[in-house]
Amino acid sequence: MPPAVKKRRRYPFVPPSLQGEAFMRWLKRLHGWVAIWGAFIGIIIGITGITLNHRMSIGARTADEVQQFDLRAPVSGFGSLAEFDGFVSERLELDTPSVERTGRNAAQPGTYGLRYQSAGMAFDVTFVPGNQYLSVIRTDFGAISTMNALHMGNRSGLIWVLVLDAFAGSLIFLAVTGLLLWSRLHGPPLLALALMFSFLAAAGYFGLAL
C-alpha cells in the first residue's frame, strides 16, 4: 500500500485536508496544555463526583469543627452594617467579602449578622445592640465537606466559580480535540464511535426513559 494513502487515513475523525503533520502536532500540544492545568482540579472533581453521587451514604462524614468565642464590641456600638463589617474584618483579619445572614437574629431591627466563608471554613458573627460582645462562631469544615463545596462552587468567590467554568470549558474542549486526535494506532474508528454512542445511548436511556 502506498504510504500517502496510509497517512491520510491515520486520523479518521479529522478532515483529510487538515491531516498535515503541523496541524496535528499543534492540536496535540493544545490538548496537552489545556489538560495539564485542569489535571489537579480534575482529581478533586473526580473524587467528589463519587462522594457527592453517594451523598446519602457517604455524605460529609468527616466532621466539621465548630468553636464559639466572643469579641468585645466598641462602646458606641455600630452605626451601620458597613461599620460592623469593617470592624469584624479588621479584628478577625478577614479579607473575604461577607454575606448577610438571614437568620432569626438578623431579622430583628438593629441586629447585625454576617457570614464570612470559604470552602474550608466560615465565621458567623452576630451582634445585638446594647450587648458588650459580638458572638463569633467559627466552623472548620471537614475534608469531604470542603471538597464537595469546591466541586459545587458553594461557599466560594467569583474567581473559583470562573476556575470551575474554565474547567467545564476545558472538559468540552478536551472531549472534542481528544476525538480528533484518535488515530488508527489506538484502535478501529468504528469501534471508537460505537463506544461513544454506547455512552450517549446510556445517558439517553437513563435520562429520557419514562
Which residues between 24 and 83 bind another protein (CB under 8 A)?
28-29, 31-33, 35-50, 52-54
* Position 22 contacts another protein (CB under 8 A): no
Stretch that binds another protein, among 64-72, 75-83, 117-125, 128-136 (CB under 8 A): 117-125
Q: What's the closest the beta carbon of residue 2 comes to another protein, in angstroms?
A: 26
The closest of 136, 139, 87, 130 to 111, measured between CA atoms, is: 130
Residues 6 or more apart whose CB falls under 8 angstroms from that of 108 comprise 128
Count of residues engaged in binding another protein, rule: CB under 8 A:
76
Q: Name beta bridge partners: 68.
A: 137
> Could you tell me the smallest distance in angstroms from the CB atom of residue 104 to another protein?
21
171: closest CA among 49, 55, 60? 49
User: Got the DSSP string for 131-152?
Assistant: -SEEEEEEEE--HHHHHHHHHH
Query: 177: burial class by Cβ within 10 Å (0-12, 13-18, 19+)?
Result: middle
User: Which stretch in 62-70, 74-82, 104-112, 114-122 sits in contact with another protein by CB under 8 A?
Assistant: 114-122
Q: Which of 1, 5, 190, 210 binds another protein (CB under 8 A)?
A: 210
**Mind giving me the DSSP string for 167-192?**
HHHHHHHHHHHHHHT--TTT--HHHH
Q: Which is nearer to another protein, 129 or 187 (CB)?
A: 187
Query: Is 190 among the residues that bind another protein (CB under 8 A)?
Result: no
Site for another protein in 130-169 (CB under 8 A): 146, 149-150, 153, 156-157, 159-161, 163-165, 167-169
